[in-house]
Structure formats: C-alpha cells, structure tokens
Structure 1
Amino acid sequence: MGKCVNHPDRETPYLCMKHQTYLCEECLECKDPKIYCKHRSACPIWFMSKRKENWDAEDKNAATAAADCTVTFQPDGQTVSVPAGSTLLEAAQAADVHVNASCNGKGSCGKCKLVVASGAVESPPTPLLTDAEKKKGYVLACQSRITGDVSVQIPEEALQKKLKIAGMGQAVTEQLSGMVTEIDPMLKQVPLTLAPPTLEDSVSDLDRLNRGLKKEGCDVNRMNVGIKVMRQLAEAVRQDNWNITASVIRRKCANEILEVRPGNGAQPSLGLAIDIGTTTIVVYLVDMTDGRVLAATAGHNRQADCGDDVINRIVCAEKNGVKKLSRMALATINSLIGEALDSAGAKADAVRNVVVSGNTTMAHLLLQIEPRYIRRDPYIPTVSEFPILKAGEIGLKANPMGAVFIMPGPASYVGGDIVSGVLYTGFHREDLTTLFIDIGTNGEIVIGNREWMMTAACSAGPAFEGGGIRWGMRAEEGAIEKITIDPHSLEPTLSTVGDAPARGICGSGMIDLIAELMRTGIVDRSGRFVDMAGKRRVRQQGDEPAYVLAFADETPMEEDIVFTASDLKNLIYSKGAVYAGFTTLLGEAGMNFSMVDRIIITGGFGQYLNIERAVAIGLLPDIDRAKFNYMGNSSIAGAYMALLSGQYRQEAREICNTMTYVDFSSNPRYMDEFTSACFLPHTDLNAFPSVATPN
C-alpha cells in the first residue's frame, strides 16, 4: 500500500512499476501508454486503464443503440431503424426504398421530397420547396436529419409506377427472331456415354472423360479441370453406368470442366441477357435451346438514389464504397431475374449463361472494380475487355458456375452498351456511312461503316430523364409525353402515359413542349420567356417565369405542374451537348451531315421521340427525315445476340477494338459547337432551313 501521487490523503495498492508511483482508483491511467514498458503485461494500472476504455466504448455503443430511431415509409409501411442524426435519404437506402436523389444528396436537385406524417426531423431552409409544399410537411430527404421515431409519406409525384418500355413479352421473340441461326453458348452441357474401364483399357477416369470430350469436338489440349471435379468424378461416372453430363466453359485462352454429374438426359438450359442502364435495367430470360425469350422484365436502377449520372455514381462510390453501389445494382438485377424466373416457372440453377451490357462505369460498379480513375485525367478504366466470369463470383441469381460475358467497351465514357448497340444494328458490316446515337444520360455517338468507326460521348446530363427539371420524371404512368398548345389561348392539350392524371413530364413531352413554346411565341430563340401579361398559363414562379402545364385541381398531388425558365435552360444545355457531339465528331472525321447516309437512334427515350419536334429545337440535324431510323433498346438486343452466339461475342470484341475514341473534354472544337447549339434551334439558322422557313 502507498499514497496516491495525486491525492496524498488516499492509500492505494496500485503501483506503477515504471515510475514507482501509486495511483488511486480515480487516477488509474497509464502516463506513458505509447512507450515500451517491460512491466506492462503484469501492470494492474494498464489493465484497469484499458478495461475502462472498453467499458466506455460499450457505454457509447449502448447509448448509440438506445438512440436508434424507427423510420416508417408510407404507403407500403416499410420500416427501418437508424441512428439518430441520420438523414431520411440514408434511412431510405437502408430500407431499400427508392427515393430519387439526382444530385447524390447534395441538396441541389430538389427531387428527394418526402412528407413528414408524424414525428419530427431537423431540416434546414431550402428554396427548392414551395410555400405550399412546406405547409403540407414536405422536406428534402437528403437534408433532413432524424431526431426521433418518424413516419414519412412518399408523395404521389415521386411514387414509382410501371415503366413504359417497348419490346416486352412475346413481341421480343418476334422482334429478335432469326437474329441468331446457330446457338453456341459459353457454358455447354455435353452428354457423354463413356466406355467402362477394363484390364485392357485401364486409363484413369479423367483421361476417359477427356477422351469422350475430344470425340464431341472439345479441344482437350486447352482444357483445365479443378480439384472439385476430380473429387466428384469417380462416383459421378459410375452412378449411372458411365452415362454423364459434363459442364464445359469455353474461354478465349482455355476451356474448363466445371462439373460432371450422373446421367446424360436433357436438362433445362436457360440464359440471361441483361442491360444495366444508368436509369433502367432490363432483363431477358432466354431458352438456350431455341432462342425464345421466355420472360422480359425491367425496373429502375436503384443506384439512381446516388445520383442520375455516372459521375455522381463514381463520387458516391468513392465516399460510400464500391461494394454499396454494386449491391444496389445487384438488388435490382436479382429482383428482375426473380420476376422473370417466376413468370416462366423456372429455377435459377438452370441459368448457366449470362451476358451483361452496360456502360463502363456500370460494369465496373457491378463487378466491384474501382471506378474513380474513369473521371480523372487521363480518364482510364481499370478494365475494357473482361474475361468470362462466373455468376457466383459476381452475386447474380443464377447457377453459381454459370458463365458471364461482359460486353467490352472501348473507353471510359463509351462502353459495352454501345458496342452491343453497334452489334445489333449491324452498320459496321455495311458500306453506308451511319451516324449512331444512343440518347440517354450520356449521349454516346458512333460514326462509320464497315471500313472505319469513330466514337465519342457527350455529357447530355439527366434532364431528358427527368433530372434537374422541376416536374421532370421518367416515362411512367402519368408522365406527360405529348403536348400541343393553342396559339391563341395558349391552352395545352396533353397526352399522358397510360392516360393517367398528369404527375410530371418525361423526355419526349419536354421536346414537344419546347417546340410548342417556340411555335406559339411564348419563348424566343435565346430560350427566354416573352412577356405574356394577362395569359393565365404564363406566370411568375418564384423569381422566374413559367408555363403552367396542369393546374392543381387536375393533378393527384393537388399542385400546379409548371415548366420554368430554369427547366428550359437545363434542357437547352442538354440538347446543345448532343448536337455539338454530332457536329464535333463529324468535323473530326472531315465530314458534315450531307455525307451521312443514315442516322440510327436507339435507347428507351428515342422510341417516343418526335423527329420533327426534335429537329425544331435543334436536338437532331435538319436533314432528310427518311434517313432517321429508330431501332429500340439496342443494348439489350446486342446482349441477346452475344448470349446465343460465340461468333457474335467475338464480333463484339472486334467492334470494340475497331473504334477510334475521340475525347471531347480537351477538344476546343466541341466547346465552340456547344456554345453555338445553346439557342433554339441554333445560332446558325442556315443549318435548320425547315425551321427558319416552315411550310
């Protein structure tokens, strides 16, 4: 016993052997925790000090757990527990509830609206909510921090509805019929009847298997076999009197026996073609025996909660981890695969071949490959051509040993979805000079023919997908898709998806609207609203002019749907980026529009595009309308072709290697062209004669 060095009136048994000083229970803390001490292993002060740290940590964890709050999302009643101080957006992501966060939670897009039904959250002031919305309890999910149990309502305008997507169901098989004449999957089921061993023929079971495969045309000189197959081989070959089925995956450099099972009867063989779009994911379930599409499903990519475009996705991956973004995409994909399998009455184990098509960022995120250098100079992806992978390695809802082919992509911003589109459209096999455009969040463009191809990407942004537009939305039920405006009364006639009450406006509706605003003189060529005093459809919305598409009593949200000057500006920038991409790429090739024989438009948005209206606003060139062709979702169609054919898989690699990529980020011509295209339709009216002198 001794006196505490800090409290001489207290006796204590705790002695610091290093400093030969006593410490009472209140003072139990090692003075030199980072310095080596030979007495530490037996030091009670060190032991009690570390134990106190553990108790403090346990108390802190207990306090955190006690502070967890329950968040309920209506109308489905989904609940989740999150720590106090979390944002409603973080809670939505934890509950797997879709909340559109176009700006990746920066509080700048105003899309992640929720209505607080009960409980309380802390929300900073924001100009992105109207006074009427604030009175109804609207908050921005990304800016609202949870302080206790809370129940929130997803507002009517933000509820996910059924997507309007062409080519679903039986029509898909009819559309793609005849595209592949000889089915040649990556993973083949090879039925074999082997000769039983005898004293005269005493080769090993594996040699006997290789001999049987060689007779069936397999290249056994490049055949690998794993320990798993060796272990199962002896029993498998003898269980059904030497009748077996070998699962063989064929890769570019080597083949591999993945499984040997008893019996050589036919079993269901299914495949998946998957298009991972930035906005939408589409899945086809395919019968690998005859190429029929058994089921087709589509849904929103849940990664959209982290931003509308690939740059925001990469930033989110840097902040929250690539694994999180991968899980979000897989959640959507596997849910769609489940729907397709259920509708066809099939099992995931029967899916042994998969082809995935998507842009470079989507492919990297799906495979949990670091994407950050895609957005950093000199903009290099980690992988451009992928080896054949296994479904189990990725986490796809399929047979774990199923072969997965990822469509190759030539550059960071021109990916496998464009290679897939070129494969499907087939212009790389023809003499006609073709301009190919996939209109989406990224506007990817290809120009060329069978002798050459050049490609580039222009950042069109998410405006035509609904991002950054006050009432913008995707082509779901209730989306305004067609508009005409009476030139005298300025009253609109609207057509909505599914003939449902208007909830917002989609990309095709926006193009119609801009063209009509120009035609009726509501906006001028510079994109400014003209003074329309006395017209009830044109008014001030806050501090800017706006056109009222639908009044509150006509909408399920009981709010006016308006199109503001800011919305118009965003769309002009987007259409300007696409048109500048056309002219810049043609210029780099030493060409102009008169030298183009055909323009192919693809992508979900392109299906509902009115060519005349798109030309009128300067999105598309003013050339012979007969040159325009719409070819649907070319990405999923090309994935389907590659799924069924080894020849098309090789052709996809050749397309990728043939393309010459042009980088617009450092191209001065592009910025000049973009500036000129930020008028309606363009600063040079000579390029748009039909708009300058309409019939």
Structure 2
Amino acid sequence: MTPQKGFVRRILVEPPSLNNNTADAQRLEKCLLNELSTDYIRIPLPVLKKLPSNLRSWEFKAKAVLFKDRCSWILVDLLNPLSNRSVLGAAVDIGTTRIVVSLIDLETGFEIVQKGFDNPQAAIGPDVLARIHYSNQKLGQKSGQKLDQKFSQTMDQNTGLEELNSLVIDSVNFNISALCKEHGFQKEDVYLFTGAGNTAMTHLFLGIEPIEIIKEPYIPCVNIPDTQPSKNLALDINENGVAFLFPNIGSYFGGDLIAGILFSDLDQKQAPCIMVDVGTNAEIVVGNSDWLIACAG
C-alpha cells in the first residue's frame, strides 16, 4: 500500500495591502481551499490566536498540518516554514489483549517505529464482556472494604468505565512518550492520533458507556465518532492535536476491521478474498468490490 501524503503542506498566503484588506484568517482560508481543492476547511481558535504575528514573522509562508475527516479538512496547526522539527502522527491498534503504537512521519507517510504492549485493562477482565460489565459498576459498590463516609461518597462518584478509560489512555500516553524519547522526538511533535479497535474497545477508549452493546437489541452508543481535539480524550500529545477513531459497523464489527479492509484494499478486489483477524475476538471478512460479508465471535 502506498503511503498517504498530504497531511503537511507548505503554503504561501497572499500578503495584505491597501487594495486587499481581507482578514488574515480569510486569506489563509482562501489559500488552503485552493491548495486542497475543497470547499470548506475548519480553522481552530488556537491557530487564530497567534495568526497575525506568525504570518508576518514568517513572511506569509507557513507549514500547514492538516487532517481530513468525514465532514471537512481541519487545519490542525500552522508551523514555521523553516522549522526542522518532525511532524508526527500516532497510529494505534487498540486490541483487547495487545496494543500496538506506530509513529508515522506525516511529511512522507512512512512508519518510523512500532511498539506493542499489553492492554492494562486485561487485569480487570480478559474479554470485552467482562470489561463492559465492570464499566457499569460504581467503584464504591464493588469493594468489600468498609469506607469512611467521605471516601465512600468520592468512590461512588467514579465508575468502572472511568477506571478502564484511564488505564488505556495512561498506557497509550506513556508508550507514545517513551517511543518519542527513544528516537529523538518530543511528544509535542505528535499532531495526529488515529485509533482502531473493536466496538467495545472504541467505546472504552472514548469513555462512552458500552453497556447496551451486550444487551438486546445490542446497540452501540455510536458507530461513527467525530474527530476530537486530543485534549478531550486526555491524550498527551501536541496541545493542538486531533484524534480520529475508526468507525464501527455494529456491536461486534469494529474499526479495526474497517482499517484492515482499507489497508488490504479488500473492497477493491475483483475476485473474492478472505481476511481473518485472529485476536482475542476473532473476525472474518469475505468479499470483493461488489460485496462484503463479515462475522465475529
């Protein structure tokens, strides 16, 4: 599969003049719309706050870090065009048993390094059913210890969901930071985060109640999560970073399968092909460009 390029673009914004007194943001927007051949781009407030001084100190040249989701292009950040700092992405396979983090050079699209580690949620339950049941508990309820009233009230305000969410987020943050340090980068060099996992793992990673997934009629809270500012998920990367979680198809057919289909071009094949994910939860996809059928267990 050819690495995807285009997340980092070098741009030249038209300088203002007495004959062109359009606002800086609108001239930047016009430049990016032309560069990307699109009709809409979102420019976040943190980029706007320093836009006037940055554009002028950089002589209206810049390095734009971009991301495209299902709604539009997003300007993640605007960087000094002379900066030699790396612009990285983190691609994460959020497995039930194992998690794998890859650092990606966003300017070339190539993988720099990869690291796998155990999902710390396994200490609570080895499978998604156990974890979903645990997520629905109040922590104060599960303990047999006698707690003083103040501590008990505090514990009752926390849920198993919050604990499961913190375990996976903290582990991912630790390993992204460690990978960056080991290879001469900083965690602030990571601007894009992409995660793929089964439906339950996606819900737990986002801190979304998953309990209805295992109750008839087996309905997830969300199949297509919106792209989020990374700080909304407590991800410890660049403060302007964004996070994208691959969409689910159903209760047990998750974003990891979608990612696998896209990576293997299974939906582009002429002859029927089969893809098997041999994990804690096993999935099989069969099909070609005309049809796809899947099962999970």
TM-score interval, normalised by the smaller of the two chains: 0.7 to 0.9
Equivalent AA in structure 1 for residue 71 of structure 2: C
Deviation at 1:333, TM superposition (A): 1.3
Match for 2:221: what amino acid? T
Q: 1:312 to 1:427 in 2, by over 3 A?
A: same
How many residues are paired up? Answer: 276
Q: CA deviation at 1:366?
A: 0.5
Q: Counterpart of 1:184?
A: 6
Unaligned runs of 5+ in 1: 1-178, 459-695
Deviation at 1:446, TM superposition (A): 2.1
Amino acid at match of 1:353: L
Structure 1 vs Structure 2: percent identity of aligned residues? 29
What amino acid is the match of 2:285? Answer: V
Offset from partner CA, 1:528-585 (integer Å, 9 cap, x none) = xxxxxxxxxxxxxxxxxxxxxxxxxxxxxxxxxxxxxxxxxxxxxxxxxxxxxxxxxx
Q: Point out where structure 2 has 5 or more consecutive residues left out of the alignment.
A: 140-158
Aligned to 2:99, the other structure's residue is in SS state strand
- Aligned-residue offset at 1:266: 5.2
Q: Does 2:187 match 1:365?
A: no
CA deviation digits over 1:119-175, x for unaligned, max 9?
A: xxxxxxxxxxxxxxxxxxxxxxxxxxxxxxxxxxxxxxxxxxxxxxxxxxxxxxxxx
Instruction: Say if 1:248 and 1:450 are closer, same or farther in 2 by CA, change over 3 A.
Output: closer
Q: Distance in 1 between matches of 2:81 and 2:260?
A: 40
Structure 1 counterpart SS, 2:220: coil
Relative contact order higher in (CA < 8 Å, ≥ 6 apart): 2
CA offsets 1:63-84 (integer angstroms, 9 cap, x no match): xxxxxxxxxxxxxxxxxxxxxx
1:315 corresponds, among 113, 126, 133, to 133
Query: Equivalent residue of 2:104, what SS?
Result: strand
In structure 1, what is the Cα distance between the partners aligned to 2:269 and 2:76? 39
Aligned residue among 5, 11, 32 for 1:213: 32
Structure 1 residue 394, shift from structure 2 partner: 1.4
- What's the CA shift string for 1:350-398, capped at 9, x where partnerless? 1112221111000000000110000000101111122222222212232
Find 2:13's aligned residue among 194, 208, 211.
194
Greater CA deviation, 345-354 or 442-451? Answer: 442-451
Indicate whether 1:303 and 2:125 are aligned.
Answer: no
Which amino acid is the alignment partner of residue 191 of structure 1? R
Q: Who is 1:325 aligned against?
A: 164
Counterpart residue type for residue 217 of structure 1: L
1:203-232 residue CA offsets vs partner (Å, 9 max, x unmatched): 22223322332442353x423334443332
- Whole-angstrom CA distance in 2 between matches of 1:304 and 1:377: 25
TM-score normalized by structure 2? 0.83
Please tell me whether the aligned partners of residues 232 and 260 of structure 1 are also in contact (alpha carbons under 8 angstroms). no
The counterpart of 1:237, out of the listed 55, 60, 65, is 55
- Cα distance in 1 for partners of 2:47, 2:108 equals 29
The correspondence for 1:399, drawn from 227, 238, 242, is: 238
Which of residues 184, 192, 196 in structure 2 aligns to 1:345?
A: 184
Structure 1 contact 414–456 (Cα < 8 Å) conserved: yes
1:285: Cα distance to partner? Answer: 1.1
Amino acid corresponding to residue 231 of structure 1 in structure 2: K
SS where residue 304 of structure 1 aligns?
helix
SS of the residue 2:251 aligns to: coil
Note the 1:524-673 alignment, pairs <5 A.
none
Aligned letter for 2:29? N
Distance in 1 between residues matched to 2:108 and 2:46, nearest whole Å: 31
For the pair shown, which has the larger CA radius of gyration, 1 or 2?
1
Change (3 A) 1:378 1:240: same
Deviation at 1:265, TM superposition (A): 4.5
Q: Does residue 1:444 correspond to 2:266, yes or no?
A: no
Q: Cα RMSD (Å) of the superposition?
A: 2.3
Post-superposition CA distance 1:296-339 (Å, at most 9, x none): 11111110111101000001111142111111111221222122
SS in structure 1 of the partner of residue 101 of structure 2: strand
8 Å contact kept, 2:98–2:118? yes
- For residues 265 and 79 of structure 2, the distance between their equivalents in structure 1, rounded to whole angstroms, comes to 40
Q: Which SS does the other structure have where 2:237 is aligned?
A: coil
**Relative to structure 2, which stretch is displaced further, 370-379 or 248-257?**
248-257
